[in-house]
Structure 1
């Protein structure tokens, strides 16, 4: 059997890896519930990682770095919103262009910081609780990003289901024509939803470069933004299912690293591809079960007001 300390460390790593996916996919879920398909999550995440790292490195403050990352993700989301929402351009093409732009900007910002390193965001420590076997480090020994992600999840779940703002946002995603006829500013609502998604992607990037791997490397997001997009479909656009999906894929990404250390003779390239193979497999299963029927009716459809 695994030692409790080792098992606790593995579980803590899974939580940290899952949090990156949860933050990014949570913002995308809000954007999609408003009817906007944002494929620029990867670009917003990498820009957040670069800007957050550069700010933290220059200022010596992880808090300022995190704030800068959130603002950078939101700012890049405005580029996508301008194209896809206000100019009614194709949302798929606009999202892909935003990702490419984000990768280029991040490479430019991050190039002076290659080879540097920061102290990771400190983990919570509660005497007595954090020292508990197994669950101590997992539950009471994470950094602020983990707890913030769970708070955001609760706020989004409650907001979408229980508040008038959430009802209006869901109405826009289901029928933007009807929402517009009722006097709701469809494009403004979608823009704010996309900005929230961009801010969450930037926050995920901040966790990646300031906590999970506290250094800068080009393309350090490694496709996590695309997995976040798949997680929204996996969750059937429901926040609590999103939590389960993020932790499932976080577990796959961490466990493949440990399997490589067992010397089983499995090619490392195949093990590294496991998170993405799991994503494809999950989407195939979802399609077979027709869970995709939960998608907002106006998802990906441009809105052009007629009056």
Structure 2
């Protein structure tokens, strides 16, 4: 096994992990504010078709990414309106959002099956891309892979080093106390949910404009659910989110790699690997109730009634 072969394997793992990292980063911010949005899968699908259709019509993949972010944000606002303003159940509304997103994306994408669109090409970073092995793996990639790293670093800095991040975490941990101190709880949560929707949409656009640059129904193949699991796996901490995304991305790629080797394993069983891995990891994590209790936002999924 030579260095070039290992490098290609590493690039494949990075490619498989990026949509998980982008979508999970947005959901992390939403959950830190105390909102549990289970509609990540639906938002990713709507973002994927919005990005693909826009890129096809305009000839610009970057405009497609922008359209995907906007589409994901608009879908997330439906969830926010129902749960934050009308106090609908967050779990039920999130599940409904996923169902709606799947159907809506399938409807919009019916005319785009089998056609191509501009894709995101690699942009080598000067000098850094020339570093042996590391340069080819990390610094000769498309813009959304760089974006995933930069956004995760910014989120970690925002949550842990800024006053605004402290306020967001305070809203997630005790919305009543934050409201009593004069902070606009609903506006903060609306903004966090909008950000989560935009990131999910961008994650979907990555799939339709780079990872498998063709539109097909259910393109995300459950990645939205894995992104949700990653937030729990990371215990709501950005660094562990990165570790988890690449762990699950590696498992996802492994399932494809095994199929490519022609090993005599039923393909449905191989396809189950990422989801079995997700369930196993979550079961192991759930055994450590103290870790979850210490890190989970205390008001996650709870109603907030503003009292004047």
Deviation (angstroms), 1:292: 1.7
Residues 107, 218 of structure 1: 8 Å contact kept: yes
Q: How does 1:71-86 map to 2 (within 5 A)?
A: 71-86=70-85
Q: How many residues align?
A: 306
CA deviation map 1:78-112 (0-9, x unaligned):
00000011111100011111111111111111111
Residues 120, 212 of structure 1: 8 Å contact kept: no
Deviation (angstroms), 1:60: 0.1
Change (3 A) 1:160 1:225: same
Q: How far apart, in 2, do the equivalents of 1:65 and 1:261 lie?
A: 31
Deviation (angstroms), 1:6: 2.1
Residues 35, 296 of structure 1: 8 Å contact kept: yes
Deviation (angstroms), 1:119: 4.1
Residues 56, 118 of structure 2: 8 Å contact kept: no
Q: Which runs of 5+ in 1 are unaligned?
A: none
Residues 5, 133 of structure 1: 8 Å contact kept: no
Whether 1:144 aligns to 2:134 is no
**Which position in structure 2 is the counterpart of 1:305?**
306
**Which position in structure 2 is the counterpart of 1:111?**
110
Q: Which runs of 5+ in 2 are unaligned?
A: none
**Which position in structure 2 is the counterpart of 1:181?**
180
SS at match of 2:141: coil
**Which position in structure 1 is the counterpart of 2:292?**
292
Deviation (angstroms), 1:305: 1.1
SS at match of 1:261: helix
Deviation (angstroms), 1:129: 5.0
Say what the alpha-carbon RMSD is for the aligned residues. Answer: 1.3
**Which position in structure 2 is the counterpart of 1:57?**
56
Change (3 A) 1:270 1:297: same
SS at match of 2:76: helix
**Which position in structure 1 is the counterpart of 2:133?**
134
CA deviation map 1:172-197 (0-9, x unaligned):
00011111111111111101000000
**Which position in structure 1 is the counterpart of 2:46?**
47
**Which position in structure 1 is the counterpart of 2:201?**
202
**Which position in structure 2 is the counterpart of 1:99?**
98
Moved runs in structure 1, 4+ residues, more than 4 A? 126-129
